[in-house]
Amino acid sequence: MKNTATLLITCPDQKGIVAAIADFLFQHNANILHADQHQDSENNLFLMRVEWDLSDSDVNADNFNENFATIANRFNMHWQLKLSQRRPRMAIMVSQYDHCLADLLHRHQSGELACDIPLIISNHLDSKRLAEFYNIPFHHVVVSKENKIEAENRQFELFEAYEVDFIVLARYMQILSPEFVKRYPQRIINIHHSFLPAFIGARPYHRAFERGVKLIGATSHYVTEVLDEGPIIEQDIDRISHRDQVEDLIQKGRDLERIVLSRAVRWHVENRILLYANKTVIFD
- Let me know: does 283 contact 272? Beta carbons within 8 Å: yes
The CATH number given to whatever domain includes residue 114 is 3.40.50.170
The region of weakest confidence among 19-23, 58-62, 150-154 is 58-62
- Let me know: does 5 contact 52? Beta carbons within 8 Å: yes
Please write the tens of the pLDDT for every residue from 30-88: 999 999 999 999 999 999 999 999 998 988 888 999 999 999 999 999 999 999 999 99
Model confidence at 230, in pLDDT bands (50, 70, 90)?
Answer: very high
Does pTM surpass 0.85?
yes
Is residue 165 domain-shared with residue 191, that is, in the same domain? Answer: yes
Is residue 77 domain-shared with residue 18, that is, in the same domain? Answer: yes
- What is the extent of the structural domain holding 193? 89-282
Q: Which of 83, 107, 140 is the last residue of a domain?
A: 83
Is residue 77 domain-shared with residue 97, that is, in the same domain? Answer: no
CA 219 to chain centre: 12
Is residue 157 domain-shared with residue 143, that is, in the same domain? Answer: yes
Question: In the chain, what is the straight-line distance between the N-terminal and C-terminal CA atoms, in Å?
Answer: 20
Q: What is the largest CA-CA distance in the chain?
A: 63
Is residue 236 domain-shared with residue 262, that is, in the same domain? Answer: yes
211 has a pLDDT exceeding 90: no
Is residue 121 domain-shared with residue 209, that is, in the same domain? Answer: yes
Query: What is the predicted pLDDT for the residue at 2?
Result: 85
Q: Which of 36, 55, 83 is the last residue of a domain?
A: 83
Number of domains in the chain: 2
* Of the candidates 173, 165, 150, the residue with the CA atom closest to the CA atom of residue 95: 173
Catalytic residue (choose from 98, 103, 165, 228): 228
As a whole number of angstroms, the distance between CA 17 and CA 11 comes to: 9
Q: Phi and psi dihedrals of 7, rounded to 5? A: -110, 125
Is residue 48 domain-shared with residue 149, that is, in the same domain? Answer: no
Is residue 220 domain-shared with residue 269, that is, in the same domain? Answer: yes
- Beta strands 116-122 and 45-53 are unpaired
The CATH number given to whatever domain includes residue 45 is 3.30.70.260
Query: What is the predicted pLDDT for the residue at 199?
Result: 72
As a whole number of angstroms, the distance between CA 196 and CA 201 comes to: 10
Is residue 106 domain-shared with residue 53, that is, in the same domain? Answer: no
Query: What is the predicted pLDDT for the residue at 244?
Result: 86
Model confidence at 267, in pLDDT bands (50, 70, 90)?
Answer: very high
Please write the tens of the pLDDT for every residue from 235-266: 999 998 888 888 888 888 899 999 999 999 99
- Let me know: does 79 contact 72? Beta carbons within 8 Å: yes
Is residue 144 domain-shared with residue 225, that is, in the same domain? Answer: yes
CB atoms within 10 A of CB 89: 16
Question: Is position 228 annotated as part of the catalytic site?
Answer: yes
- Let me know: does 220 contact 199? Beta carbons within 8 Å: no
Is residue 77 domain-shared with residue 98, that is, in the same domain? Answer: no
Q: Which of 24, 50, 83 is the last residue of a domain?
A: 83
As a whole number of angstroms, the distance between CA 174 and CA 147 comes to: 13
